[in-house]
């Protein structure tokens, strides 16, 4: 069954494709041009909104059955009461701008010592079948990465807040890690591994039915 990644963020798409270890299609491949309003109060709700919109589009096209996978993720900063949270992409305004978001975050944390710069990345991956015997059946898989925010950006890899984020137990930011080192510990990695396990179990169940 085809997997459609319902994201416009090419960094996320690359990470998820690598984590799932298989060929995937994108929103462009299925001709989805719509914009999904992220009105949910949680990562899970927003991920489900994105998956549902792409699944609706696929059903209307009456193509072959597919599994839609959507990601909603972000950064929760302790000293900011969990902000920017679901607003992480839009923290410094729309359109989303990683450098502006990082600058705004450093500004908001000015004067806050390292001991109080704790934060966590969270990721919700929502899946939904479009067509086929299991049409619908929404489900969500989640992952968390805990760490500390540095005093200035470091490293050029990754995206978003990666240059500011020191994962717990690592002396470097995510932007200083290779893609595979990030995937091994990241919030998206944890969610994708849970999704992958579920996919493998569902496939073997279907083979026995
Ligand atoms: P889609 O909705 O099209 O998937 P988006 O980038 O708008 O793309 P989100 O609303 O889920 O997605 O916002 C996620 C933001 O959270 C992202 O833009 C980054 O600022 C931040 N973020 C999430 N995961 C991250 C990661 O692994 N590394 C760094 N920043 C991350």
CATH code, 69:
3.90.950.10
In tens digits, the chain (209 residues) has pLDDT values of 899 999 999 999 999 999 999 999 999 999 999 899 999 999 999 999 999 999 999 999 988 899 999 999 999 999 999 999 999 999 999 999 999 999 999 999 999 999 999 999 999 999 999 999 999 989 999 999 999 999 999 999 999 999 999 999 999 999 999 999 999 999 999 999 999 999 998 877 766 76
State the CB neighbour count (10 A cutoff) for residue 91: 23
Report the distance separating Cα 52 and Cα 28, nearest Å. 16
Residue nearest to atom 1 of ligand 1 (CA): 7
Residue 188 has a pLDDT of: 98
Q: Is the CB of 101 under 6 A from ligand 1?
A: yes
Catalytically annotated residues? 72
Ligand 1 atom closest to the Cα of residue 38 is 10
Number of domains observed in the structure of the chain? 1
Q: Compute the radius of gyration of the chain from its Cα atoms.
A: 18
- In short, whether 173's Cβ falls inside 6 Å of ligand 1 is no
Q: Which of 44, 88, 187 to mutate to test the pocket of ligand 1 (most atoms within 8 A of CB)?
A: 88
Range of the domain at 47: 2-207
Q: What is the pLDDT of residue 137?
A: 85
Ligand 1 mean position, distance from CA 74 (Å) = 6
Label the pairing between strands 165-167 and 136-149.
antiparallel
Closest C-alpha residue for ligand 1 atom 7: 89
Cβ 162 under 6 angstroms from ligand 1: yes
> To test ligand 1's pocket by mutation, which of 73, 76, 93, 143 has the most ligand atoms within 8 angstroms of CB?
73
* Secondary structure E strands in the chain: 2-5, 25-26, 66-77, 118-130, 136-149, 165-167
The pLDDT of residue 202 is: 83
Q: Report CA(179)–ligand 1 centroid distance (Å).
A: 16
CA of 50 to the centre of ligand 1 (A): 13
């Amino acid at each position: 069954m085809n997997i459609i990644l319902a994201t416009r963020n090419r960094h996320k798409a690359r990470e998820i494709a690598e984590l799932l270890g298989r060929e995937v299609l994108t929103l462009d491949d299925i001709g989805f041009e719509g914009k999904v309003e992220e009105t949910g109060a949680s990562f899970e709700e927003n991920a489900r909104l994105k998956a549902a919109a792409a699944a609706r589009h696929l059903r209307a096209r009456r193509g072959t059955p597919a599994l839609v996978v959507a990601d909603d993720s972000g950064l929760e900063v302790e000293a900011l009461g969990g902000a920017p949270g679901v607003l992480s992409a839009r923290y410094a305004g729309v359109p989303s701008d990683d450098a502006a978001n990082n600058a705004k975050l450093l500004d908001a944390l000015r004067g806050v010592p390292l001991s109080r710069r704790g934060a966590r990345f969270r990721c919700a991956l929502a899946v939904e079948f479009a067509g086929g015997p299991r049409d619908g059946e929404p489900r969500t898989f989640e992952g968390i990465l805990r760490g500390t925010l540095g005093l200035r950006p470091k490293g050029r890899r990754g995206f978003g807040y990666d240059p500011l984020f020191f994962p717990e137990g690592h002396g470097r930011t995510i932007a200083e890690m290779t893609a595979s080192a990030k995937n091994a510990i990241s919030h998206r990695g944890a969610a994708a591994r849970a999704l992958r396990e579920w996919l493998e179990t569902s496939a073997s169940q279907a083979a026995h039915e």
